Chain A
């Protein structure tokens, strides 16, 4: 019975360990993508650029989690997707450079940059 419990515990731990080997987000890549893709488009659009330091870490986390871009007209995720990058890569070097980066990794990168650059983050950041 003891052996069974040990085996069961080991099995559960292996599952946790497997899921724990999550992607280690690269805030620097997030910085480049945010500034080159998000900001460059926002500057053109009427809304203008949004400094990461204008929101708190919690606000950015909630924004990413809610996944509502332009007040819900579309999603945030789609703007880091491979499909979106492919659609703009002819005129956007960052989209071209990160064309093959998995969607979730790039979203994590951007989220890491926003978390770091938030008003209460470790290094409040601007758009440029």
Chain B
């Protein structure tokens, strides 16, 4: 009886072994079908540290740090963490912590909302602990599930249990399972970078114009490099990262790269995210004339004919001066255009939006000077530039660049002559987005910024420039000659360069037409003589 059991059990064991190894053996014959993860060398589902319930982000980070012991320290040195950057050229202290813009204006006093895009947990006020390793958010960049969310209002924390927010609103934010997300971590992707960078300025495509959710899985026409069916570049293919520090900068952009292709091992190669870093300084093989263009014109100028090409509109203007209106019942107003896009919100004012936008063009040398809260400004006929883009046709460092120029009107202090950092986000009595009261919102925001406020406010017209560099089109969609070589072409406003068909020089024109006339006379004369002489014979 027992022998029968043993035989049966052994048979079962053999069957089990065959079932378990059979497919593997079969697959060894066809290695392409082997079920192995090719994008990572570690299957995080197998790590005991991650096989538990996590109630908060820092708990996950603590588990990550057990193996990745240096990761948090690396993050602590980056702009993504500090939101602070000292521009070595202008000596200005920049970074999100300091600068203002003409979108949502400033993070001061609005931390709990804005820091949903910080790579950290718990930055709710000026007392955030930047030295604590567990405060680093690994999942923001390493989530592969697409389910990791940090809703505004939670100071960069994910929500792990269903939560009503704002309290009393009846709106429920679904809790997410951090263990499931942590067990599937991997390389950063267009989705992880895009979770913040596609949504800058308060919504999809709002800020940059050349970055929106259409780049998550774009077609070739939207971006030739990121084309999900083709080259499938991620952001980090160009923004090559070292020790968690991502290459590329909005504060010190590389306007002119004359260092050629980056070769492995070559020291001092500079910014790996430029076009030249891969394509070299003379990339046009069949039409050499275009390489001469590339000495004065940024690649992006011709190769990004329009931005916001992925079907998502970008904001072009924002007028804060009209914010604060209520309907007859005293409620907030939201107006939309025919396409369902918001054009007015009581909280924010009037907007205009656009798709397939032709950039504006300017000489740009990479120098960016910001108007900070400490800078004096004057209300004149001209717009105050939030960021002055340096450049000229004669400095030897500038190229003609495409720009999104975002124009708006925002609060300023007419007595102290400074910009203003209002308290906007927040479920409290002074938050402008709740109570629509500038007199309450401004003092709180300015106090948090540590800046004086006279008690009076007005609105000032501003503009901010954003160099366009994403959404590179396929080469057959690059600009043709006549787009610029024309009287009212794209470069109509660019000074300091002679553009045939756009520009005239009386002397050159007279000499040219004289040559044409003389040539014509010569041909006619020669022909006439031939006719006359042939008749004589």
Cβ–Cβ contact A21 & B311, under 8 A: no
- The 0/1 profile, CB within 8 Å of B marked 1, for residues 17-49 of chain A is 111010110011001100110000000000000
Question: Interface residues of B: mostly helix, strand, loop or mixed?
Answer: helix
Of the candidates A1, A31, A100, A123, which one forms a contact with B32 in the assembled complex, judged by CB atoms under 8 Å apart?
A: A100
Given A23-B35, A93-B230, A7-B146 contact (CB < 8 Å):
no
B18 CB, nearest partner CB in chain A, Å: 9
Chain B residues whose CB sits within 8 angstroms of the CB of A66 once the complex forms: none
Cβ–Cβ contact A128 & B19, under 8 A: no
Q: How far is the CA of A107 from the CA of B9 in the complex (A)?
A: 37
Cβ–Cβ contact B20 & A24, under 8 A: no
Within 8 A of B (CB), among A83-104: 93-94, 96-97, 100, 102
- Whether a CB of chain A sits under 8 angstroms from the CB of B47 is no
Q: Which residue of B lies closest to A14 (CB)?
A: B16
- Whether a CB of chain A sits under 8 angstroms from the CB of B13 is yes
Cβ–Cβ contact B5 & A4, under 8 A: yes
B186 CB, nearest partner CB in chain A, Å: 11
Of the candidates A12, A97, A128, which one forms a contact with B214 in the assembled complex, judged by CB atoms under 8 Å apart?
A: A128
| B contacts with A, residue count (CB < 8 A) | 31
Cβ–Cβ contact B217 & A32, under 8 A: yes
Of the candidates A1, A27, A97, A116, which one forms a contact with B2 in the assembled complex, judged by CB atoms under 8 Å apart?
A: A1
Cβ–Cβ contact B32 & A8, under 8 A: no
- Whether a CB of chain A sits under 8 angstroms from the CB of B229 is yes
- Whether a CB of chain B sits under 8 angstroms from the CB of A11 is yes
Of the candidates B5, B229, B310, which one forms a contact with A36 in the assembled complex, judged by CB atoms under 8 Å apart?
A: B229
Of the candidates A8, A15, A21, A93, which one forms a contact with B9 in the assembled complex, judged by CB atoms under 8 Å apart?
A: A8
Q: How far is the CA of A21 from the CA of B176 in the complex (A)?
A: 25
- The 0/1 profile, CB within 8 Å of A marked 1, for residues 318-336 of chain B is 0000000000000000000
Of the candidates A18, A24, A28, A96, which one forms a contact with B16 in the assembled complex, judged by CB atoms under 8 Å apart?
A: A18
Chain B residues whose CB sits within 8 angstroms of the CB of A14 once the complex forms: 13, 16-17, 19-20
A95 CB, nearest partner CB in chain B, Å: 9
- Whether a CB of chain A sits under 8 angstroms from the CB of B264 is no
A52 CB, nearest partner CB in chain B, Å: 13
Chain B residues whose CB sits within 8 angstroms of the CB of A21 once the complex forms: 35
Given A93-B229, A100-B32, A11-B217 contact (CB < 8 Å):
no
A25 CB, nearest partner CB in chain B, Å: 11
Within 8 A of A (CB), among B89-110: none
Given A27-B146, A31-B217, A32-B228, A10-B13 contact (CB < 8 Å):
yes
- Whether a CB of chain A sits under 8 angstroms from the CB of B288 is no
Chain A residues whose CB sits within 8 angstroms of the CB of B35 once the complex forms: 21, 23
Given A1-B2, A32-B229, A11-B37 contact (CB < 8 Å):
no
Subset of 17 A-B contacts with CB under 8 Å? A7-B9, A7-B10, A8-B12, A10-B13, A10-B16, A14-B17, A15-B15, A27-B145, A28-B217, A31-B228, A36-B228, A93-B229, A94-B229, A116-B146, A122-B145, A128-B214, A128-B311
8 more A-B contacts (CB under 8 A) besides A12-B16, A28-B146, A128-B214?
A7-B9, A7-B13, A8-B9, A11-B12, A15-B15, A23-B35, A93-B220, A93-B230
